Every structure is written in structure tokens, then in C-alpha cells.
Amino acid sequence: MGKSALRGMVGCVLLVLFPVSSFAADTSAAMLYTNGSAWINGVPVPRPQSAIFSGDLVQTRRDSVANINQAGSSIRVLADSLVEFQGTFLKVEHGAVSVATSRGVGTAAGDVKVTPAANTWTEFDVTDVDGTVRIAARKGDLTVFNGTQTTTLAQGQETTLQENNPEAPDNNGKKKRRAAGAVPGAMGGALNSPYAIGIGAAAIAGITIWVLVQNDDAASPAIP
């Protein structure tokens, strides 16, 4: 069985066995819902929903979007974007995300880091295209670190910064953009981790025991 199929099976089993809110309460895991083609660690998502884990790379095409849902947070990965999910943080490699959170979920784009200024419901957008980072505070104030100093972006305000990240510059001094479908597999991927294997094994074992119990009950004679 391929990794994408196994990941999808684990996601479906988790959805059946546990409520989405209970599963998403683990900040190292979330559910990904896609509208159009998307990839996890360079592998196409086989169905509209899939479990994702800290360290996973999520990529969308120019005609697709994806939603990452956790308890208390919803992250929309817009078209033509590449992001790394890190549980309570999101690293934007390229493209744009729209974050709505009550749990302080933040983002990073190069050296630029954006976090809610308070532990209240906050909505903001972060766009990173060729090293230029645009930040918009839709609801609530934001704390913005540009690599050297920290400032506050008030609700309703927008700002534009540079990544100041020397990693992988091109000849024009701009960060290279990754092509769609060219994402390498992330180290320590979800389905290779003991955590994910344990979840999958426990879920499968639970289903097996339930089936055996049902079959045993059906085969037992009725007691007068």
C-alpha cells in the first residue's frame, strides 16, 4: 500500500473513531481539506481530506486551495502556495495563507514572524511572493518581527516587509520559487513517525476487536 493511500486510510479511520474536534485538539496534528489538486510532501492528496502532522509540506496549484483545521484555528492555504505545517506555527515558503485562530497560531516567512498580539480570536493574511511579505491584520492586533525588531500591527492595518532571508537567492537577489509538484518529501514524515504508526495501529486494532465482538455476539445462542 502506498504512503498516500495509507495516509488517507488513517485519516478516514480517525474521522470515524474520533470527533474532528478531539483529533484536532492535538496541536501536532490537523485535518487538511482540499478543493482541487494538492500535495502533501510532494505526494498528491488522494481524496478531499487527509490527516497532516507537524513537519508536513502542503502545496496547492494555481487552481486549488486547501484548509487546515484544528480546534480553535482554521488556516486557508490559497492557490499556488507552499507551506510547512508546524502544529501551532505555519512556515510560508511561497504564496498566501489566511489564518483565523483563538489559540495563537502564527506564521513565518523567512525572518518575518507574525503572531497574534493577544490570546483572543484573531484573523490575518500573510502573502510571500519572491521575498516580499505582505501582512494584513483583519481582526485583532498582530505582533510582527522583521528579523531585527518587533512592532505591533493594529487591526485594519497592512504592511509590507522583505524576508531578509539569504537562503537560496537567485541572480537578482530574490528567493527562488519552487515549481508546483516539485516538493521533496519532508524529513520525519507523519506516516514514518512512531506517533502516526501508533495511531494507525491502535485504530486498526480497535476496529478489529469491534468486528470480532460483533461476530461473536451474533454466533452466541440466545439465553432464555
Query: Do 3 and 43 touch, CB atoms closer than 8 A?
Result: yes
Q: Is the pLDDT of residue 161 over 90?
A: yes
Where does residue 145 rank: exposed (0-12), middle (13-18), buried (19+ CB within 10 A)?
middle
Query: Which H helix or E strand runs over 207?
Result: helix 194-219
pLDDT score of 6: 52
pTM of the model: 0.68
pLDDT score of 46: 83
Query: Do 114 and 107 touch, CB atoms closer than 8 A?
Result: yes
Domains and CATH numbers, the chain: 3-215 (2.60.120.1440)
C-alpha cell at 91: 512556515
- More confident: 164 or 54: 54
